[in-house]
Amino acid sequence: MGEILVGTASWTDKTLLASGWYPPHVTTAEERLRHYAGQFPLVEVDSTYYAPPAEDTVRLWADRTPPRFTFDVKAFSLLTRHPTRPAALPKDLRPEVDPDKRNLYVQDLEQAVVEQVWDRFVSALLPLWEAGKLGAVLFQFPRWFPISRGNKHYILECKRRCDPLRISVEFRNHTWMSEENRAETLDFLRSYGLPYVCVDMPQGYPDSVPPVVAATSDLEIVRFHGHSGKWTSRDIHERFGYLYSPEELEEWAPKLCELGAETPETHVLMNNCYRDYAQTNARQLAGLLSAIPACQVRPAESHA
């Protein structure tokens, strides 16, 4: 039976800070991370999707958390073929672009620049890896990334470029997990030891993927995006501002326990980040899992 780690996809969201979840005396970045790490054994860093992190910042994350605390880190948008603001690139790598051009894609850049972005992104995360605190780098691919031979090759390229960091894979194009292609997708991921990221999300949209629970490596990840009726909103808090009911979490608990029995480590992340919704649901879900005798849930640790 493997360990299950439960956490959330943010500890710095503005609405979380305003919700009162942090005690009044917890006011600095260091205090917030230390407090969060005393409540949960796992967190996902989402800010790295919007801009590559600074190595010094990553080193502080490692230093400010307990020995067994784990970070999953979202890959930079440019590397997952999402639109990227020019200002998100390091200053010395920014191309001269039309002021009216709001976004860049990887194909808009010279190959030498792309190589530098990869190298710097991976290098910045090494302090977490060296400290034994990096779970996986999450590659969440966009809805215009369907199943194909070329896209499989790109996933393997991401794996190679991130070495020695491990990556995980989340799809937002339904073709990967359609009934016709599901077995092929899971076999592909298993062949290369790539963790498949199962998602619980609203259904019936162009980027909807069914909540298929499957083990493809020695690490598995499940992300909860909520069931907001405003999934297409440009407001991120409207998209993810969903509080799971106890009944919904109770339905998921045995599925997560079964997954935990198939792999040494399972990460469960609440991504319904609005106010303290994610933290509330993560605590509830951890409690439900802990009540199942067969489940081994990692508790939070205090900082040494």
Identify the CA nearest to 278 among candidates 74, 42, 26, 53.
Answer: 42
Question: In the chain, pLDDT over 70 holds for what percent of residues?
Answer: 98
Band the pLDDT of 303: cuts 50, 70, 90: low
Asked if residue 97 has pLDDT above 90, the reply is no
The answer to whether the CB of 243 falls within 8 A of the CB of 280 is yes
The answer to whether the CB of 215 falls within 8 A of the CB of 249 is no
**Would you state the pLDDT for residue 1?**
74
Question: In the chain, pLDDT over 90 holds for what percent of residues?
Answer: 87
| pLDDT, tens digit (0-9, with 9 covering 90-100), for 2-61 | 999 999 998 999 999 999 999 999 999 999 999 999 999 999 999 999 999 999 999 999
**Domain ranges for the chain:** 3-297
Instruction: Say what the alpha-carbon torsion angle 44, 47, 53, 54 is, to the nearest 10 degrees.
Output: -100
Tokens of 214: 């499957």
**Would you state the pLDDT for residue 171?**
97
Fold of 3-297: TIM Barrel (3.20.20)
pTM equals 0.95
The answer to whether the CB of 255 falls within 8 A of the CB of 294 is no
Residue type, 52: P
Tokens of 9: 């996809």
Distant-in-sequence contacts of 173-179, Cβ < 8 A, 24+ apart: 173/141, 173/142, 173/143, 173/144, 173/145, 173/146, 173/147, 173/207, 173/209, 174/207, 174/208, 174/209, 174/210, 175/146, 175/147, 176/146, 176/147, 176/209, 177/209, 177/210, 177/212
